[in-house]
Structure 1
């Protein structure tokens, strides 16, 4: 039998919270054609002509607020996850990032050096999106063809509606909320431009983003980020038996002037605070590891905004990180894959 191995892949992080390292990281990230999907000349003008001349200092200041003594929280938590998953499986588990110095090529090389011939690539994103899962899979295949032509790669599909994942997520939320005062739960997902949803529509006709398409069964849902986010909220709400008016979904972060998925998280927090919600909790199921978007944008900026409009208690629910049930589930998926023949 061919020797098998696993590559966990997350987003990435700057080498440090200093502006020069943040600028380098943002340049690689934002020049990805699946992140900012406009013609190269326009992307270059926007990123190198505007963003990289204005944003690195502010982003560096944000990173400094959440940076740990051991380094980037995303990297540290991902490394801890890798180590714990390795304890549950006999197959070598490597870690890579889509952007930054911990490259996918290095991760694959690490496995190949251990004699691995078949790789189970696991994008650490519950939902499929052009700017997350797709860019990882496309780059991994390009690297395989160029540097590891004899290597076989299989990948874990989006697991947003996997019953075991939903159970793990719901239980983690439930356990955390036992210690927090709240009367409203907001599910906040990272935002994407609406055009990404339409581009990912394999039917080329289903995704109208009109409030009904995500609820109407369609093959398009296999790659529809919006549908998959809404499904996570629905399934977790059912698992936790949440009452109708005590939770909702929103989308955080946006760039440029294009229409991004609605409603926006910051405006939702503001609306809830003004409408009389005094105690709210927020969970971020688009991420499995805490990072800048959860630790600074949500936990810090979100709390400040909520209290400015009259809210009282604002609490954030950690990502799954190294939750023991999450670790065990990842290892279970790995071990199940290893028992089945890999696809050519």
Structure 2
């Protein structure tokens, strides 16, 4: 029997340092997130970051926390409930970090008689720190606990027509009646070395301004290319003229070279360029989370206005929107009825 495991990022159990610390430990000790040797990673994470970061992160989580719990988990559960009603096969929900775990999700499917699982990472673009880590952990768990299971995984869907139309329609709906000066596409940031590590050609990705526009097999796993392609296709669907939109990357750690331009730097410079009404969309996420609700909707909003901006619109992610849930259900049903994943 076939079944599906939807997998999102995850969240602490509560917005307190006590619960944020183990969550951050699991997250940051992941070798696909901080990809340095174990001892160095342990020294960096457990010897330095976890000494101060949990308190700061807990305060950030507290600002966005809902009565029902973590926004990302709550939204994921709402989406899961809608998808479950529209598909013919068993579906389970899991988080890469925290609960419900991938192990519990796979166990739930096995208890229902599932032997063939569609792993569905809820990330439009492929990255080591998101897609790869999900697939690697799932395979480790399969070998240890579920040897009878067979896995198929959903590839990055950044360029799939249904997804792009859903994203464009969502943006258009939220921009309705809003006379914005500029639309910013802000993507999650990753270290440049991750781009080179996922280059299957070992030579294409130079991050020089041209490689992302030059056709290559490397693009199948190139996060940077896939982000720019998402922006390009959505802008085309919306008919946004050149100069009225741009793309940036948010989040970075000191000491490494991360993808540029940086969201905070660019947002702070916009008012002096005459951009007084800014709209921001975050297409690296399908569910609103700490990075979209606190980092963008609160912090970037505040800094934009401090630097002279007047209006700031944070466009929500696709979340549990009906059209997006229908798209996910359609992809699942297509897979369930055939041997291949057909978008």
Deviation at 1:256, TM superposition (A): 2.9
Q: Are 1:256 and 2:264 matched, yes or no? A: no
Deviation at 1:342, TM superposition (A): 6.2
Residue matched to 2:319: 321
Q: Are 1:301 and 2:281 matched, yes or no? A: no
Contact 1:4/1:118 (CA < 8 Å) preserved in 2?
yes
> In the aligned structure 2, how far is the partner of 1:249 from the partner of 1:20?
36
**Paired residues, number:** 341
- What secondary structure is seen at the aligned counterpart in 2 of 1:245? coil
Deviation at 1:181, TM superposition (A): 3.4
1:246-275 deviation digits (Å, cap 9, x = unpaired)? 001100011231000000000010111221
Contact 1:97/1:104 (CA < 8 Å) preserved in 2?
yes
Residue matched to 2:45: 47
> In the aligned structure 2, how far is the partner of 1:319 from the partner of 1:274?
28
- What secondary structure is seen at the aligned counterpart in 1 of 2:206? coil
> In the aligned structure 1, how far is the partner of 2:31 from the partner of 2:133?
9
> In the aligned structure 2, how far is the partner of 1:336 from the partner of 1:218?
28
Counterparts of 1:169-318 in structure 2, within 5 Å, are: 169-318=167-316
Shift of the 268–122 alpha-carbon distance from structure 1 to 2, 3 Å rule, reads: same
Contact 1:187/1:247 (CA < 8 Å) preserved in 2?
yes
> In the aligned structure 1, how far is the partner of 2:58 from the partner of 2:26?
15
Instruction: Select 2:88's aligned residue among 90, 95, 117.
Output: 90
Contact 1:16/1:72 (CA < 8 Å) preserved in 2?
yes
Deviation at 1:199, TM superposition (A): 0.3
- What secondary structure is seen at the aligned counterpart in 1 of 2:243? helix
Contact 1:34/1:131 (CA < 8 Å) preserved in 2?
yes
**Any unmatched runs of 5+ in structure 2?**
none
- What secondary structure is seen at the aligned counterpart in 2 of 1:318? coil
Contact 1:181/1:313 (CA < 8 Å) preserved in 2?
no
Instruction: Select 1:66's aligned residue among 64, 67, 71.
Output: 64
Deviation at 1:179, TM superposition (A): 4.0
> In the aligned structure 1, how far is the partner of 2:340 from the partner of 2:185?
35
- What secondary structure is seen at the aligned counterpart in 2 of 1:55? helix
> In the aligned structure 1, how far is the partner of 2:331 from the partner of 2:83?
11
> In the aligned structure 2, how far is the partner of 1:43 from the partner of 1:165?
36
Give RMSD over aligned pairs.
Answer: 0.9
Relative to the length of structure 2, the TM-score reads 0.98
Deviation at 1:202, TM superposition (A): 0.4
Relative to the length of structure 1, the TM-score reads 0.98
Deviation at 1:33, TM superposition (A): 0.2
Deviation at 1:340, TM superposition (A): 1.6
